[in-house]
Amino acid sequence: MAFLADALSRVKPSATIAVSQKARDLKAKGRDVIGLGAGEPDFDTPDNIKKAAIDAINRGETKYTPVSGIPELRKAIAAKFKRENNLDYTWEQTIVGTGGKQILFNAFMATLNAGDEVIIPTPYWVSYPEMVALCGGTPVFIATTQANNFKLQPADLEAAITPKTKWFMFNSPSNPSGAAYSHAELKALTDVLVKHPHVWILTDDMYEHLTYGEFKFATPVEVEPSLYDRTLTMNGVSKAYAMTGWRIGYAAGPLQLIKAMDMIQGQQTSGATSIAQWAAVEALNGPQDFIPRNKKIFEGRRDLVVSMLNQAKGISCPVPEGAFYVYPSCAGLIGKTAPTGKVIETDEDFVSELLESEGVAVVHGSAFGLGPNFRISYATSEELLEEACRRIQRFCAACK
C-alpha cells in the first residue's frame, strides 16, 4: 500500500513558485538574475494599513477569530461589493480566507464530486486545474487565441458545457495574459450561462483595480443579475493594496455555499490571522487614493515592456488591458538554436535558455496551458524591466 495519497499523482507543483525559487537560488550562488516570475506588486503596503495592524496588536486583537472572519471585515466586504460592483450581499453571505487560494480551494472542496467538470479557459492561473484535481473534479480546458486577445468566445463556452459541468472558472483581468473582458464581452458569455442553470460561476476578480486606459471593470453577476444565486465572486487585498504577504482573500455568494465553505475552513485553518484581518478592514474602508497612482505606474511599465519586447527578434507581444503581466509569443524562436547550442523546441526550452544565457527568469506558457508563450510580471522597477528587456532582445538576436 502506497503511503502518499493517489490524489498527489494528479497534481503538479506551481510553476510560478518554482521559477521564483530558481531565481533566488541562482542569486544566492552569485548569478546576476532578474526575476520576472513573481505575481506581486513591488510597492509597500500603505502606511495607514500598517498602522491599523499595529493598533490592532496594541488593542490586544490577537485571539482566534470567527472561522469566516471578524464581523467588521465581513461588513466592509459587503460594503465594498455594493459600492464598487453594485452587488447586494449581507455580511453573512461573505467569507474571509487565508488568501484567495483558500477561498477557491474551499469552494471546490465544498462542491465537487468525482466526475464533476470545471471549465477553465486557457491560459489559466497555474493553480486552478490543480485545485480541481485535488478536490476530485475534472478540469476541462478551452483554448483562447492571441488573435482574440486571449479571450474566451461564447460559442466555445457553449460547446464545452456538458451535463457534468459544475463550475465555469472565470478570471478577468487575467493572470497570466492580462486580458480583461468588457461589459459587452461579459454579456455574451453570461447569455450562454443563463441557458445552463446547472452551471455555477466562480469568478476571480483579484486584479479588479488594475485596468488601464479607458477600460471599465465589470464582474459577471453585475452584468447578469439572474446569475446571482449561482455565482461566487472572489477577490482580495493582495494586488491592489500591495498586501500579498498578509494573506487575506474574500468572497461573497449564496448563503448555502458560504456555510459549506465555513464548515470546511473550520476543520482546516479556522479564521485568518486576526492582525491581517484588521489591516484589511482599513484597506477596504480607508483612503483609496493610492490605487490610481500605483495603476498609472503599472501602465507605464506595461507600455515599456510591450514596446521593447516587440522589438525583440521572434517575439510578438499583445497589449493587455489589465493585471501586471504580459504574455508574449515566442513562436518565432521555436526551431532556432540558442547560444548554448541547444535547439529551442518549446517555450520551456526558451525560458530555460534565456535564464541560462542572460539571467532573466520568466515563466513558460505551457505552465499556464497555452504556448508557445511566456509570462512576464512587470511588477518591478522600470530600471530592472528595461535591463531585462535589453537582455531578452540580445538573447533573441543571438538565436540562429
Report if residue 56 sits inside a domain. no
DSSP assignment of 316-369: B----SBTTEE--B-GGGTT-B-TTS-B--SHHHHHHHHHHHH-EE-EEGGGGT
pLDDT category of residue 18 using cuts at 50, 70 and 90: confident
Cell 477557491, residue? 104
- Rounded-to-integer distance, Cα 154 and Cα 135, Å: 27
Q: Are residues 233 and 129 in the same domain?
A: yes
Average pLDDT of the segment spanning 323-335: 98
Nearest to 185 by CA among 216, 229, 145: 216
Among the candidates 285, 300, 324, a domain finishes at 285
- Rounded-to-integer distance, Cα 354 and Cα 358, Å: 6
Q: Are residues 269 and 221 in the same domain?
A: yes
Q: Are residues 273 and 324 in the same domain?
A: no
Query: In whole numbers, what is the pLDDT of the chain averaged over residues?
Result: 96
Q: Are residues 281 and 237 in the same domain?
A: yes
pLDDT tens column, 244-266: 999 999 999 999 999 999 999 99
Strand partners, 161: none
Among the candidates 249, 265, 285, a domain finishes at 285
- The pLDDT assigned to 88 comes to 98
C-alpha angle 106-109-110 in degrees, rounded to nearest 5: 85
- The pLDDT assigned to 20 comes to 74
Report if residue 378 sits inside a domain. yes
Q: Are residues 242 and 145 in the same domain?
A: yes
* Backbone φ, ψ for residue 300 (5° rounding): -65, -40
- Rounded-to-integer distance, Cα 349 and Cα 62, Å: 48
Report if residue 1 sits inside a domain. no
- The pLDDT assigned to 12 comes to 79
Report if residue 50 sits inside a domain. no
Average pLDDT of the segment spanning 359-374: 96
Check whether 14 has a pLDDT greater than 90.
Answer: no
Q: Are residues 98 and 39 in the same domain?
A: no
pLDDT tens column, 177-211: 999 999 999 999 999 999 999 999 999 999 999 99
- The pLDDT assigned to 262 comes to 98
Check whether 312 has a pLDDT greater than 90.
Answer: yes
- The pLDDT assigned to 141 comes to 98
- Rounded-to-integer distance, Cα 114 and Cα 362, Å: 35
Check whether 19 has a pLDDT greater than 80.
Answer: no
Average pLDDT of the segment spanning 15-23: 75
pLDDT category of residue 348 using cuts at 50, 70 and 90: very high
pLDDT exceeding 70 applies to what percent of the chain? 100
**Any idea what the CATH number is for the domain that residue 33 is in?**
3.90.1150.10
Q: Are residues 98 and 242 in the same domain?
A: yes
Q: Are residues 326 and 369 in the same domain?
A: yes
- The pLDDT assigned to 137 comes to 97
- Rounded-to-integer distance, Cα 343 and Cα 326, Å: 25
Nearest to 36 by CA among 274, 344, 276, 382: 382
- The pLDDT assigned to 204 comes to 98
pTM of the model: 0.95
Domain of residue 82, residue span: 63-285
pLDDT tens column, 52-84: 999 999 999 999 999 999 999 999 999 999 999
> Assign residue 67 a region: left if phi > 0, alpha if psi is -120 to 50, beta otherwise?
alpha
- The pLDDT assigned to 99 comes to 97
Average pLDDT of the segment spanning 298-322: 98
Q: Are residues 301 and 232 in the same domain?
A: no
Report if residue 141 sits inside a domain. yes
Q: Are residues 258 and 162 in the same domain?
A: yes
Report if residue 153 sits inside a domain. yes
Average pLDDT of the segment spanning 252-281: 98
Report if residue 55 sits inside a domain. no
Among the candidates 285, 315, 343, a domain finishes at 285
**Any idea what the CATH number is for the domain that residue 129 is in?**
3.40.640.10
Average pLDDT of the segment spanning 229-239: 98
Q: Are residues 202 and 240 in the same domain?
A: yes
Check whether 165 has a pLDDT greater than 80.
Answer: yes
